[in-house]
Structures are given as C-alpha cells and as structure tokens.
Structure 1
C-alpha cells in the first residue's frame, strides 16, 4: 500500500515518529492465507464429519475454523476502503469488483454443480432454477440455498460492495474522513440496534434458527458482519493517516456485542480475539511471521481456494477414506483443493479478470463518448 513517502522506521512499531504508510501492507496476503487455512481445515475435519456421520473421525478437529470468515470480513473492510479511496469513478469500482469476483465464481459454481451431482455431495441437490440462481452470487438474499456451503459469505460481501458503490456514486468519489466517520457511526448504530431487536424477539435462540423476519432483518442490516467491515475500514484510515481512529473503540465493541447478542459469550470472545489480532497487525509496520512465502502464496490464491474447496474436498474425502483412511484422505483432499485453486487463480483471476476488465472499461468509455 503506497500512499505517501516518509522516512521508514523500525519494524513492529506503532505510530511513533515515523510512517507505516510508506510500506506495502504485505501482511494482508498472510492474513488471507491464515483465514483460508482455518476455513479449509475446519470444513475438512469438523464440518465434514457433520455432513458424513458414518465416516470415521479425523485425528485433527478444528471446530473454530469457521471464524476464518470473520477475519476475511475485517480484511475486506480494510481492502475495499483502500480501493474506494483510490477510485476516480463509481463505475471503475463496480467494474473492478465484478471482474475480480465473477469469472472465478462462475467456474466454481459449474464445478460445484458437476462434482456435487457426480459424488452426491450433501447440500448440492438443488432444483434447476435454484442452480441457475446460484450464478447471481446473491442467492442467499433471494432465500435460495447455496450449491456450495462457502458461497453464503459472498452475498454478504456483495451487500458491502453495493453500499460502498452507492456512497461513491452519491459523493462522486469524494470520500472525506469526516464523511466516512459519520457513515461508519450510523452503520454501527443500525447494526447494534438490529442485534438488540433480534435478541429481544428471539431470546436465547441462535440467529440461524430464529424466525424468518428476524433473520431477514439481521441479514439486510448486516447486524453481525457490518461492524467487522466498519472496523476494517477504520483501521485502514488509521494506517493511512498514521493516527489512531477513536471510533475504532466503539466499532470493536459493536463487533463483540453483536456477536454476543446473536450467538453466545464464547462466540463473542473468539470474535473479539480475532478483532484484537487484526488490529495489532494493521497498526504495525511489519509482522514478519505473516510474510512467510508459503503463507503469502496461500493468501494469493485464497479467493479461488475458498470458493472451490468445499464440494471438491468433501467428494475427495468421501471417495478415498475407505481406501486410505480418513486422515490421508483429508490430506489428499487438501492437495486437490489447493492445486485446483492454483489453476483457477491462474486462469480466472489473473487472465479472465484482466481481460473482462479491459473490455468493460472500453465499452463504458465508448458508451460515454457516444452520449457526448
């Protein structure tokens, strides 16, 4: 992340007499790598056992792997505001997000449908219309099941992108820090109010089992995940400006309170730990363990890995465990998912995305010229 040039200072320092904005935030890929690894291991151990109760247990269980998603949302808040901060046209942002996500996603949908049907993977038996709607990426908002268990987070991300796009459109890409603070404060208030309302109408009930209207309210307002996006955005502002954003404190509290109200105290404690960890990394010049090459590489392919690993991994483990045992089957599934993600990243994220972006930008510019 290169924003302003200042004299560098010691690695690991916070805001004391120097600059962290002069250094590229390499640790973001390391964080993505950690989040992706946690999700994959969690799905291939604990979650697989839940879907395939007749399979033998795994020697390693990671029931908290699901919390890699919270780390992804914090990273997204940081990165998307960094992208929006450099955007000159709202359409640039929309084209960037569309071409970044959809090429790989559409291929992952096809893979999920095909492998799910061939291997009879639980949760993939959808109607033709439901499968077709899965190509929208917002099927969760249409109350349509995901053909791939990992896809639900993408609808949440899309809501966040739409909010950022509308703000860019309405402000003509003039995002001042004052405006951002007011927007974040308003979103935090709405999110916490929604979480409180959900807790009052469904006390003691996990949000996933709450009445439809309560779940719809929580989903529309992003009551649980909005504060994570907000915290990520505030930490980007702090890193860019080299000045602590005091709104970070209420944002962190909103993250914890929403998690507690919508889930449990233990759930909230884990989310709080993730928030502290991300804050610690974001406000440091450098965090060397997150710069390890394997972790950075895993972070580079993390999006492709996230969207293909579930169905392909489940099918691989189910096929191989009777032959080589559960643990070796899990390792094999991990290898298959990583290699497939590597290929998907190379084809879709690197080549197709760039080609689509150039084409859409040219069409946008041509249409604008014709109107003038």
Structure 2
C-alpha cells in the first residue's frame, strides 16, 4: 500500500500519485501527468476498510470472543474489510506500470524508497523497541526475523513482519522490483533473453504467492484504460453495480489470504475476478464510483492512505486497552462498539495526519524538492 493516485481527463495519464517529471522516460512513454481522483479515493476507502476490519475483528477476538451475537453480526464485515488489501494490490499494479516506464531503475528505486521506507522504518523500530522490552512476541525478537523484516524480504524468507499490517509491503516491494527489471530489460535494453527469464520468474512468483495476481490485474486494467477501452457508456452503471455486488458477496463469505491453500477455492477466484472487474468499471470516466468519491474528505483519505494503513493498529490498540481498563465494553455490544468507534476513528485520523506530514510527506519533499501528489 503505497502512494495514492488520481486521474483527470484520460489523456497522457501517468502513474497516479507520481510527480510530473520525465527523468528516465522510456521510449514511447507519454510525459504528461494527470491524476485520477477515483483511484486516489479508492485507496483511501481501502485503507479505511482495513482499519474498520481490524476494529471489528480485534474487538471480537479480544473482548467479545464468547458472544455469538457479536461474532455472527461482524464476521461478514470483518471478512470484507480484508478485501481492501486486494483492492490496494490492484491499484498498485495500475499506478506503478507508468512509473517504471518513465523513470530509470535508479530513480524509480529512490522514489519508492522515500515513499515507503521512512514511515515503515519508524514504526518497525517502535515495534522492535516495545517488543524487546515486553517480550510479548518472543519469536519476533530473533535477529533472523528482524533483518528480513527491515529489508522487506520476509515473504521470501518465510518469516514474520514486525509492525502490524506491514506484511503486505513485502508483496509490494517484490512486485516493484520485478516490474522495474522486466520493463527495463524489455523496453530499454531490449534484451529478449533477460526479458523471458524475468517473465518466467514473475510467473513462478505468482504461482508461489497467488496474491500477486492482483498486481497483474491492475496492470491489465491500466493497459485497457490507456487505450480508452471501456464498455459502452450506457452499460457501465449496471455492470459496475454487478461487479461491486460480486466483490461484496465473495469477499464477505471468507477471510482469504490468497496463499497456496486458496488456489483450489472457487470463492477466491470469484473474489479475484470481481475485484478486477469492479476496478475496471470504477475508474471509467463518469462511473458511479467516481461520483460517489468526488469529495474532499475522500481525497484526503487517499492522500494519507499509506500512513493510515500503518498507523491505525497503534491507535486502535491503545484505545481498546483504555476501554478494557475502564470497563467500557459492556454486555450491550452494539452500544459499546459504537462508542469505541466514536473514540478510535477521530484519534486515528488525528494521529495519521501528523504521521503523514512528518514521516511520509516530509522525507519525500526533502529529497526530491517536490510534492508527493500533484492533483
């Protein structure tokens, strides 16, 4: 879950969330940079969905685990909140492709580093310090876990990430590396042998880590969108509703991790196909989603989505501990949950705002002397 994006008119669009520069542009790459507010807003919605899912699931696991009424009422929304992660992956595939075509591998890597790593490192070091003092998770105190986590290669070493939610960043970084190397070999170097080897390696990674297929779905949508290939305008609203309904149904019935165990699960395939279809419909000009998300508040959520994604476990945990200590989780769980959300949401958004400014926006501006997002 990384930088957000945005669109305006569908001409000369580049990676949403990337500055309007042409350093290292590959042959045939368009230089103009417009933003897609729908893509930008969807990232904010996805991050907020993950936050709400963690609230519902965490409160259920730690407070109301013996209350069948709570579990029955919140299991489907908790499952669907996980869908926000898969939507993030599709968005990443959509926005990263133009970036790897525009920038040289070195500049692309630098931009990804300053977008992701300062915020990630700050929370990782916080987690390491607290866990070393409390030993709450002894397995995560081992150097063999800490080093791969800090280098974001824990997916390949089969070890845990440290700061909550950062598990998905290992997928993202692996995708960035493969996309950058493949485009560089195929378009800049025109090295057919290396391109074939990288494509085969990418195919192996998808077979080993099926969740990475969502990145490919985003790339596919990008290629269609750049060529202005969309359904006839009269058909779009109906198919957009059907696609989102499919996401809602398939995404709510099960908590997927899109690992190898989900390969034979038809429900997982349904979630994948409807997610790709919905995103394709949602980003089309004049879509229902674009009209619903055309709000300053949604645009702001898109801007701080990465910070929200990494910051909210800390505010959620602190707020939950306070409620438990004060005895504010009572037998009337709907009222208790409503009060908890009324406290956790504003606290999280305030914390996210300062985290974004200090740890996400500032390092990028300091190094590149330009804004992270250009509307």
TM-score, structure 1 as length reference: 0.68
- Structure-2 residue corresponding to 1:203: none
Distance in 2, matches of 1:3 and 1:171, equals 29
Q: Secondary structure at the match of 2:155?
A: coil
Q: How does 1:194-233 map to 2 (within 5 A)?
A: 194=207, 218-219=208-209, 224-233=210-219
Residue 29 in structure 1 maps to residue 30 in structure 2: no
CA contact (8 A) 1:81 1:233 kept: yes
**Structure 1 contact 112–312 (Cα < 8 Å) conserved:** no
SS at match of 1:291: coil
Structure-2 separation of matches of 1:234 and 1:141: 25
CA distance in 2, matches of 1:228, 1:139: 19
Q: Name the residue aligned to 1:108.
A: 123
**C-alpha spacing 1:34/1:119, structure 2 compared with 1 (3 Å):** farther
| Range with bigger deviation, 23-32 or 300-309 | 23-32
For structure 2, list consecutive stretches of 5 or more residues without a partner in the other structure.
1-6, 13-31, 232-242, 244-249, 251-257, 330-335, 370-375
Deviates more, 1:345-354 or 1:97-106: 345-354
SS across alignment from 1:24: coil
Q: Partner residue of 2:344? A: 333
Shift of 1:296: 1.4
Q: Is the 8 A contact 2:40 2:302 kept in 1?
A: yes
Cα shift at 1:290: 1.8
| Cα distance per residue 1:183-213 (max 9 Å; x no partner) | 9986886577x3xxxxxxxxxxxxxxxxxxx
Alignment-derived partner of residue 90 in structure 2: 74
Cα pair distance change 1:172/1:23, threshold 3 Å: closer
Q: How far did 1:345 drift?
A: 1.0
Q: How many residues of Structure 1 are paired with residues of Structure 2 in the alignment? A: 301
5 Å matches for 1:225-264? Answer: 225-243=211-229, 261-262=262-263, 264=265
Q: Which residue of 2 aligns with 1:161?
A: 176
Distance in 2 of aligned mates of 1:315 and 1:342: 17
**Residue of structure 1 in register with 2:140 after alignment:** 126
Give the alignment partner of residue 302 of structure 1, picking from 298, 305, 313. 305
Are the counterparts in 2 of residues 90 and 172 from structure 1 also a CA contact under 8 Å?
A: no
Summarize deviations over 1:80-125 as a string: whole Å, max 9, x none.
01212322x221111111111001111121333456678887x586
Is residue 100 of structure 2 the alignment partner of residue 97 of structure 1?
Answer: no
TM-aligned CA deviation for residue 244 of structure 1: 5.8
Question: Following TM superposition, by how much is the alpha carbon of 1:141 offset from its aligned partner in structure 2, in angstroms?
Answer: 2.4
Matches within 5 A, 1:278-297: 278-285=279-286, 287-297=290-300
Structure 1 Cα separation of the partners of residues 121 and 198 of structure 2: 32
Equivalent residue number for residue 41 of structure 1? 52
How far did residue 292 of structure 1 move?
1.7
Structure 1 residues 226 and 311: alpha-carbon distance in aligned structure 2, compared to 1, 3 A threshold: same
* 2:10–2:228 CA contact under 8 A, matched in 1: no
Q: What is the TM-score when the length of structure 2 is the normalising length?
A: 0.67
Q: 1:84 aligns with which of 86, 97, 100?
A: 100
Aligned mates of 1:172, 1:227 — CA distance in 2: 22
Note the aligned Cα RMSD (angstroms): 3.9
Deviations along 1:255-298, whole A, 9 cap, x unmatched? x9x88952633343333332221010123355211222211111
Q: Is the 8 A contact 1:113 1:147 kept in 2?
A: yes
Q: Which moved more, 1:74-83 or 1:323-332?
A: 323-332
For the Cα contact (< 8 Å) 1:38–1:68, is it kept in 2? Answer: yes
Distance 2:302 2:130 in 1: 25
Question: 1:189-247 deviations in whole A, cap 9, x for unaligned?
Answer: 6577x3xxxxxxxxxxxxxxxxxxxxxxx23xxxx2232111211211222222369xx
Alignment CA distance shift 1:27-1:2 (3 Å): closer
